[in-house]
Amino acid sequence: MGVEALIILTHIAIILLIGMLCSLFAKSLKLPAPLLLMLMGLFLGSISANGNPLISINQGFVVGLSLLALLVVTFDSVSRFKISEVSKEAMPSLKLINWFLLLTAIVMTFFTSVLFFGGISFASILFSLVFSVMIIETDLGGVLLMFKEYARERSDKILFFLETEANLNTPFIVVLPFVILGLIADVDFGAKSAFWAIIDKTPLFIYQVLLGVGVGLMVGVIILKYMRKNYSHQMSPVAIITSVLIAYLMAEQLMGNGMIAVAAMSFLFGNVYVSGKQQLEEFSSMFANALEIMVFILLGIVVRLPISLGFVLKSLLLFAILMLLRAAAVHLALKKENYTCNEKWFISLNMPKGFALAAVTLVLATYPYFGLDVVLQLVVMFIIYSLVLSFAVDYHSKSFLYGKEGAILPRVPGHIRIVGPAAKTGNKKVLRRKRKKSKKPTKAVKKQKRSGKKKR
């Protein structure tokens, strides 16, 4: 084995070991594991020896791992999107995604272009649009650990809403950025006719989308025809991974869109009966969790953040704008729903970024577009900001939702459940207000009295 191969394997072993230690440390302290993994990646990427990075990862390895992680997370997220399960309870989450996507695509695109691209231009709008689409992603995998422990009744409703939103918005994240980049590929933005060059590419773009859908459905039909009745504990998971890779590679070789092909195949898998589907979905989730450690640390190593106070302040301003847009989208989507003002703000402040966004960002880090560097740096900053914010909201979730006292009393038969200052006073008249028993005699008692009088 060559020296270079040994160095690469050593770096991979070090990354995995550090990642596992960070995950265990985060679990013991109830901290978001993605946050520690990202910070550790940034720290490892900043260490240098003799002017060279201490840990350098082969570009081909980064491309292969990031693409595999993206394909796995695409299959895992899109296959869970089942039309039969889109019920009335899920409609508020879907409305929030639509409003949030619309507001970010308009407002965030404008402010990103002004703050980080030096003004409004056709190229800055397109790259800012890619960023705006990516940051609507949410993932509750490593956050709200304290909230989940005591969540009950109305808290369960909030948790269900946030989890439904996270499941529904991931398919948008893993497809839309690559659709936009596919439209602007090989376009010279320095030329005055860049806009008309994209217009001329529209027929080719439509062909790529349709070809991707066709290839994905074809591969899905072939593989699912065999798996509908036959399930093998050893071979079925391998068949799923193989079919995902075949769909992507075939679409790319035919000049189509590989991500759309994988999404189409995954959608077909999720909405058609397959023997052992639950076990296969669990396998894809476990595989994605195993890749999560590598992806977050590699993202911190690959993306170099500028050491500038101006960049940090502008990114914080942009994140504050995103929070306001999120709050506006939540209030628009839930204006007819039964949520209190505090619950709406709790939902607004919880928008943690997760594995899907990290996988997409790591893949985009291998693209040769100069404008994507700013997008990748902003995404990494927003991942850190959102995880810190969600942890802070989680830590104060009881007092945030239920007042300063934060009391959540268990239900006692015949008692009124009090939350907040009244619970702290200990007033028995307030806390133990039993239902008053009716003093009026019943009809049976009246008959007995009448019959007794008659006998006398």
Question: Average pLDDT for residues 300-324, to the nearest whole number?
Answer: 92
Considering only residues 282 and 448, tell me which one the structure prediction assigns the higher pLDDT. 282
Residue 431 CA to residue 436 CA, distance in Å, equals 14
For residues 27 and 253, what is the distance between their CA atoms, to the nearest angstrom? 43
Q: Give the model's pLDDT for residue 407.
A: 44
Check residue 48 and report its DSSP letter.
E
Q: CB neighbours of 9 closer than 8 A, spacing ≥ 6?
A: none
> In the predicted model, is pLDDT for residue 112 greater than 50?
yes
| Between residues 156 and 128, the one the model is more confident about | 128
- What domains sit in the chain, N to C, each tagged with a CATH number? 3-402 (1.20.1530.20), 421-455 (no CATH)
The lowest-confidence range among 98-102, 140-144, 373-377 is 140-144
**pLDDT in the model for residue 326:** 95
Torsion angle of the four alpha carbons 127, 132, 136, 137, in this order, in degrees rounded to the nearest 10: 10
Say whether pLDDT at 413 is over 50: no
Find tokens 């291998």 and name the residue.
366
Distances in whole angstroms, Cα of residue 451 to Cα of each of 97, 422, 439, 440, 444:
71, 49, 21, 19, 11
pLDDT of residue 142: 65
Distance from the first to the final alpha carbon of the chain: 112
Check pLDDT > 80 for residue 286.
Answer: no
- Chain centroid to Cα 92, Å, comes to 17
Has residue 151 got a pLDDT over 60? Answer: no
pLDDT, residue 135, reads: 93
pLDDT tens string 77-92:
888 777 766 667 788 8
Mean pLDDT of the region 277-295: 78
Task: Output 422 or 127, whichever has higher pLDDT.
Answer: 127
User: If you average pLDDT over every residue of the chain, what do you get?
Assistant: 80
pLDDT at 418: 34
More confident residue, 149 or 210: 210
| pTM for this entry | 0.81
The pLDDT of residue 432 is above 50: no
The answer on pLDDT for 104 being more than 90 is: yes
Output the pLDDT for position 74. 87
